[in-house]
Amino acid sequence: MTQTHPIDGLPDRGQIVTSEQWLRFTEVMQSQVTPGAWQTWIQRLEPSFDGQRLTLRAPSDFHLRWVMDKHGQHIEQACLTAYGSEVELEYTIGEPSDDEPLPMEYGRRSTDPLPTAPPAPERVARLVRKYRFENFVVGQSNRFASAAAMAVAEQPGRNYNPLFIHGNAGLGKTHLLNAIGYQALEMYPGMEVRYVTSETFLTDFINSIRRKKTDEFKTRYRTTDILLLDDVQFFDGKEQILEEFFHTFNSLYESGKQIVITSDRHPRNLVTLEDRLRSRFEWGLLTDIQPPDVETRLAILRRNAEYAAMPIPLDVLEFIAGLVSDNIRELEGALTRVTAFASLTGEHTSLPMAERVLQDMLPGHESKAVNAPEIIAATAAAWGYTMDDLEGPSRKQPLARCRQVAMYLCREHTDLSLPKIGAHFGSRDHTTVMHAIEKVKSVMQTDREVFDRVSELSQSLRKR
Ligand code: ADP
Ligand code: MG
The verdict on whether omega for the bond into residue 162 sits within 30 degrees of 0, i.e. cis, is: yes
329 lines ligand 1 (CB under 6 A): yes
Identify which has the larger pLDDT, 302 or 52: 302
Measured from the CB, is residue 332 less than 6 Å from ligand 1? yes
Q: How far is CA 116 from CA 102, 119, 335, 430, in A?
A: 15, 9, 40, 21
Pairing of strands 88-93, 258-263: unpaired
Say which CATH class 294-361 falls into.
mainly alpha
Residue 41 has what pLDDT? 81
Ligand number with the minimum distance to the CA of 131? 1
Q: Which regions of the chain carry the CATH code 1.10.8?
A: 294-361
Query: What one-character DSSP code corresponds to residue 233?
Result: G
Q: Give the Å distance between the CA of 168 and the centre of ligand 2.
A: 9
The residue whose C-alpha atom lies closest to atom 11 belonging to ligand 1 is 329
d(CA 171, CA 175): 9
DSSP 182-210: HHHHHHSTT--EEEEEHHHHHHHHHHHHH
**Which of the two residues, 10 and 276, has the higher pLDDT score?**
276
Instruction: Locate the ligand 1 atom nearest the alpha carbon of residue 168 and give its number.
Output: 3
Residue 444: which of 406, 390, 405, 399 has the closest Cα?
A: 405
As a CATH number, domain 7-121 is 3.30.300.180
Q: What is the reported pLDDT for 461?
A: 84
Q: Please, where in the chain does CATH 3.30.300.180 lie? A: 7-121
The number of CA neighbours under 13 Å toward the Cβ of 231 is: 20
pLDDT bin (cut points 50, 70, 90) of residue 89 is confident
Q: 137, 260, 329: which to mutate for ligand 1, most atoms within 8 A of CB? A: 329
> Pick the residue with more confidence: 374 or 41?
374
Angle at the Cα of 92 (from 145 to 89), degrees rounded to 5? 115
Residues of CATH 1.10.1750.10 domain(s) within the chain?
A: 372-462
174 in contact with ligand 1, CB cutoff 6 A: yes
307-336 pLDDT tens trace: 777 789 999 999 999 999 889 999 999 999
C-alpha separations of 31 from 54, 67, 89, 362 in Å: 20, 16, 20, 56
As a CATH number, domain 372-462 is 1.10.1750.10
Distance (Å) of CA 178 to CA 139, 146, 443: 19, 12, 25
Neighbouring residues of 307: CB distance < 8 A, sequence distance ≥ 6: none
Residues β-bridged to residue 54: 49, 89
pLDDT at 217 over 60: yes
Checking if the pLDDT of 125 tops 50, the result is: no
Span(s) in the chain for CATH 3.40.50.300? 133-288
- The predicted pLDDT at position 307 comes to 76
CATH of domain 133-288: 3.40.50.300
Q: What is the pLDDT of residue 385?
A: 93
Lowest average pLDDT, out of 71-75, 176-180, 365-369, goes to: 365-369
Best of 133, 174, 328, 421 for a ligand 1 pocket test (most atoms within 8 Å of beta carbon): 328
Report the percentage of the chain scoring pLDDT > 90.
49
